[in-house]
Structure formats: C-alpha cells, structure tokens
A and B are shown apart, each in its own frame.
Chain A
C-alpha cells in the first residue's frame, strides 16, 4: 500500500510542485472555458486572457517562493 502511495506521489509530483500554482492554473482554464461558452468573446480576448492568466499565476508563484 505504501509503495502504491509513493508511486502516486511521484506521479503527481511530475505535474504539481506548488499546489497553489496548479489550482490557479486550473482555475484560469475553467474561467476562460466558462467565458467562451457563455459570452463568446473575441478569439484574441479569450487567448490573451488564458495566456495572461497563466503567466500571471506563474509570476505570483515565483514571487511567493522568493519571499519565503
């Protein structure tokens, strides 16, 4: 059981280092998905929101780590 737990932790560790960053990234994607489905924004606005949101999440995570 503990070997399975270790394998699972290692697998999750491939994608998640800072849990808050992962959550915010998924949140940004979900928000853009909802916006596209409900409000049909222009492709440029939707793309800029997705890319900008992800870049901002990355910068916030880096600055949080730097201040620790």
Chain B
C-alpha cells in the first residue's frame, strides 16, 4: 500500500476526528477549570478505558458477521450517522439553527458544574468525573465510527485511519493544554459539512453493497455519490434560506 492510498485515509480521519476531539476538550476544560484537574483526568482515563473495551469487544464481533450482513449493518449506521451530521450542517449554514459555539458550550458546562454541589469520593468529584467520562466516551464512539467510515471497510486501512484520529486527539490535547481555553477557531461547521457528505456517501455505498446493488465503476461510484450529495446539500442550504428570510420579513 503506497502513500497515495494512505494519505487520503489518514487525512480524512484526522480532519473528521478534529471536530469531535475539540468538543470533548471543551467539556474536559470546563470540568478541570471548575472542579479540578484530578476529576477531569479521572473521567478522561475512565472514558478512554471504556472506549477501548468497547472497540475490543465489538471489533472482533463485527468480523464474525457474514460479509453482506456486515456491509448492510455498517452501511445503515454510517448512513444514519452521516445524514444526521449533514442535516445539522445544512441547517447551520442556512442560519436555521445557531452555529456550534465552543465558548458558549464551555460557559454553560462550567455554570452547570458550579451550580451542582461539590462532593468527594476516592479523591475525585463524582459528578465532574462522570461529566468528563461521558464526553470522552460519546465523542470517542463518534471517532470510532469515523475511523470505520474512512477506512471504507478495508482492514488494511483501519490503522492509517486510526493514526489520523490519534493525531487529531494529540494535536487538540497539546493546543488545549497550551492555551487553556476552548478551541473556538476551528471551522467546525465547514468540517462537519464535508465529513457529513463523505460519511453519507460511504453509508449509501455500503448499504447498497449489502442490499446486492452492484455499483457501476465499483469504488469510483463513491466519488459520484459524494459529488451528488454535496450538490444536494448545497441546494438544501439555498432552499432552506428562503423560507427563513421570508419568515423574518413577515
């Protein structure tokens, strides 16, 4: 396998995972700042351990499924996951819902933690640890799906994709630790828009394979699917803007 195959996989996983890592880092920063870093790190490591256990348990189980069933299950999950991202990115681009604001999330999370009563068990604050744990586990599950999506069901590409995700996590950790504030400048919606298109295209492709659709051009069909979805999403932004503008004028 050469660099021309590995670089797009690693790069796509890196960019897609960046969004999730930034979201997890914002909550960890809020927990660490308000309730102390010990609880934040306890939640972080517990979340990573739970995620590792989940991947180790479900990874081999997936390989036991017949190929067609696996393609259908993974394809459907990727389709639902990708379309959810794409829908939200379209609505944000059209101004229907507010853009994700890391500073706002940080302030709201910090306020919630300040209001809750502080307590201590085994040297950590249970509420703060649970908040950090939940953030790391949920965003981590999303990263695991992204790795699965961009490795396109090929076992040889899982490690390059995982490497991209790990690089994103390491970069976010280093920058968040250095600046000690939410990373609000990451163009989150643009990344979500692009990643939503890519994951939805993979979802349609694998679901089709699982259903017995023989895609013309095989893997090259992914490019057509991605291009078509991008056009549909851009059309969605245009169409969604009009009623909103009409509503505002009325």
Contacts and interface: CB of A to CB of B under 8 A. Distances in A.
Contacts of B214: 43
Interface stretch (B8-16, B83-91, B114-122, B175-183): B83-91
Most buried by A among B83, B87, B235, B244: B83
B211 interface: yes
Contacts of B223: none
A58 B94 contact: no
Interface string A27-61: 00100110011000001101100110011011101
Contacts of A54: 79, 83, 200, 204
A25 B233 CA distance: 16
A36 B221 CA distance: 18
Interface stretch (B55-63, B134-142, B150-158, B164-172): B134-142
Q: How large is the interface on A (under 10, 10 to 19, 20 to 34, 35 or more residues)?
A: 20 to 34
Given A14-B142, A17-B87, A62 B229 contact: no
Contacts of A57: 83
B216 A47 contact: yes
Given A36-B211, A43-B216, A63-B240, A22 B204 contact: no
B88 A17 contact: yes
B46 interface: no
A25 B161 CA distance: 27
B80 interface: yes
A-B pairs, top 8 by smallest CB distance, nearest first, are A66-B240, A15-B80, A55-B232, A33-B211, A43-B214, A62-B236, A46-B213, A17-B84
Given A50-B204, A51-B228, A63-B240, 6 more contacts: A10-B134, A17-B84, A17-B88, A43-B214, A47-B221, A66-B244
Interface of B: 76-77, 79-81, 83-84, 86-88, 90-91, 94, 96-97, 134, 138, 141-142, 145, 200, 204, 207-208, 211-216, 221, 225, 228-229, 232-233, 235-236, 239-241, 243-244
